[in-house]
């Protein structure tokens, strides 16, 4: 279990990355003049907003699967795959804000690291029965 | 604690169900011609999108309460109630996509299993003080 | 680890608060005549909706950081900071529904309690390596 702090570090970095995306939405609200509670009205603002919310969608899967994988499969491998998920969100976000079509590289890379976390967790838990 | 792998299996299945709803949104983007970052524009697309996001809203409550209940009340009962929550999302999603009014059966069934997880967790934690 | 039940109680209260915001959105759907799947159309409905979703955004950061802080730093301090985050959402919600500009006090108070949870978790996990 000596790698559990690594899993916690990856988790904390994922949370900080997510808060950064939230801050970028706040910045884009001012720059593109989209006052709360609106979340539409300017296409570039909407890209910032979708980066934030698509990451929310992914984190609700990523964070539980990271910890299930760490406990039921292997914490070192979990931390490694998790680090790829977190890092892949950087080109995803930069790409999406430039052009929605350019989100694909980061999106695919993140998904390739996420899928083994999710299905590995399921298999690891079944084997622990 | 022998039932903890069951709780992990229910969690992993909940994550896979959520990823399936995400994939259905991606499919509906193509079919109903709603290009990212837009999330509105076609009523049937919007139903797919709401299934995904309403599940996101429920999972942020469901996943923590499932594990609190498992630790502070009973893991076997937690896994059982959790399985009902996960299964109830299937008629919810099918119903909502057909007609927003038809989401009620799955929605009520899921909530009936979720409420004891949430309030059971609170009571279990208070009793553990 | 005797304070872990306190952390669980704060978590359960955060989930119940979130479900209350969800119920307020349902109530506002009826009052302001915004039928599902729409999430826009009336500015006061939209404020209810944003209270719910902004809390979703914060909970995906708050709940993991609360537990990381409890394990890697201190559970009593974690529960205390977490209680501030949960309580701060009440003036946030009341303020936002009255006037989006009035969400600031609750928003800032909650963030002031959330940031030490997040960065404390990161530092605590690094020190546990």
| pLDDT (tens digit per residue) in B39-92 | 998 999 999 999 999 999 999 999 999 999 999 999 999 999 999 999 999 999
> Which residues of chain C have a CB within 8 Å of the CB of B61?
15, 18-19
Measure the CA–CA gap between C59 and C65, rounded to whole angstroms.
9
Residue of B nearest to C18 (CA): B61
Give rounded-to-5 percent helix, strand, coil for chain A.
85, 0, 15
Residue B55: name the closest of B109, B120, B105, B110 by CA. B110
Measure the CA–CA gap between C48 and A121, rounded to whole angstroms.
36
Residue keyed to tokens 């896994």: B79
pLDDT band at A1 (very low <50, low <70, confident <90, very high): low
| pLDDT (tens digit per residue) in A23-77 | 999 999 999 999 888 899 899 999 999 999 999 999 999 999 999 999 999 999 9
Quick one: pLDDT at residue C94?
A: 96
Measure the CA–CA gap between B62 and B55, rounded to whole angstroms.
10
Within a 10 A sphere around the Cβ of A112, how many other Cβ atoms? 13
Q: At what angle do helices C43-72 and C75-98 cross, to 10 degrees?
A: 170
> Which residues of chain C have a CB within 8 Å of the CB of A59?
60
pLDDT band at A3 (very low <50, low <70, confident <90, very high): confident
Q: For C86, left (φ over 0), alpha (ψ -120 to 50), or beta?
A: alpha
Measure the CA–CA gap between C107 and C111, rounded to whole angstroms.
6
pLDDT at A81 over 70: yes
Average pLDDT of the residues in A107-121: 97
Judged by DSSP in three states, A126 sits in: helix
Residue A26's Cβ-side half-sphere holds a number of Cα atoms within 13 Å equal to 9
Measure the CA–CA gap between C3 and C90, rounded to whole angstroms.
24
Q: What is the DSSP letter of B37?
A: T
Burial B33-60 (b: 16+ CB within 10 A, else e): ebeebbbeebeebbbbbbbbbbbbbbbb
Residue among B2, B4, B8 with most chain A CBs within 10 A, to mutate? B8
Quick one: pLDDT at residue C111?
A: 96
Q: What is the token pair recorded at A57?
A: 């969608």
Residue that wins the pLDDT comparison between B1 and B47: B47
Q: At what angle do helices A4-31 and A43-72 cross, to 10 degrees?
A: 170
**Close Cβ partners of B6 (under 8 Å, ≥ 6 residues apart):** A125, A129, B75, B76, B79
Judged by DSSP in three states, A83 sits in: helix
Give rounded-to-5 percent helix, strand, coil for chain C.
85, 0, 15
Out of A110-124, B11-25, B57-71, C30-44, least confident range: C30-44
CB-CB: which of C18, C36, C40 is closest to B50? Answer: C36
Q: Are B44 and B97 in contact (CB under 8 A)?
A: yes
- The percentage of residues in chain A with a pLDDT greater than 90, rounded to a whole number, is 89
Average pLDDT of the residues in A82-94: 98
Residue that wins the pLDDT comparison between B102 and B112: B112
Judged by DSSP in three states, A94 sits in: helix
Quick one: pLDDT at residue B37?
A: 87
Instruction: Spell out the per-residue pLDDT of chain C, length 129, in tens.
Output: 578 999 999 999 999 999 999 999 999 999 999 988 889 989 999 999 999 999 999 999 999 999 999 999 999 999 999 999 999 999 999 999 999 888 999 999 999 999 999 999 999 999 999
| pLDDT (tens digit per residue) in A6-18 | 999 999 999 999 9
Measure the CA–CA gap between B117 and B82, rounded to whole angstroms.
8
Task: Please report the residues numbered 44 through 63 in chain C whose beta carbons come closer than 8 angstroms to any beta carbon of chain B.
Answer: 52, 56, 59-60, 63
Quick one: pLDDT at residue B1?
A: 52
ipTM: 0.95
- Cα angle B88-B89-B91, degrees, rounded to a multiple of 5: 75
Average pLDDT of the residues in B105-115: 97
Burial B67-92 (b: 16+ CB within 10 A, else e): bbbbbbbebeebbebbbbbbbbbebb
Quick one: pLDDT at residue B3?
A: 87
Q: What one-character-per-residue DSSP string does A15-70 give?
A: HHHHHHHHHHHHHHHHHTT--TT---S-HHHHHHHHHHHHHHHHHHHHHHHHHHHH
Quick one: pLDDT at residue C1?
A: 52
pTM for the complete prediction? Answer: 0.96
CB-CB: which of B18, B35, B39 is closest to A60? Answer: B18
């Amino acid at each position: 279990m000596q790698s559990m702090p690594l899993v916690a570090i990856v988790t904390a970095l994922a949370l900080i990355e997510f808060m950064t995306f939230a801050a970028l939405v706040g910045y884009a609200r001012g720059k593109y003049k989209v006052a709360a509670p609106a979340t539409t009205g300017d296409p570039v603002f909407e890209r910032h907003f979708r980066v934030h919310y698509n990451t929310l969608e992914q984190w609700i899967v990523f964070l539980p699967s990271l910890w299930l994988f760490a406990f039921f499969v292997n914490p070192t491998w979990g931390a490694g795959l998790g680090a790829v998920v977190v890092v892949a969100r950087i080109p995803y976000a930069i790409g999406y804000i430039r052009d929605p079509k350019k989100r694909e590289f980061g999106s695919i890379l993140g998904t390739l690291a996420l899928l083994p976390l999710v299905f590995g967790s399921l298999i690891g838990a079944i084997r622990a029965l």
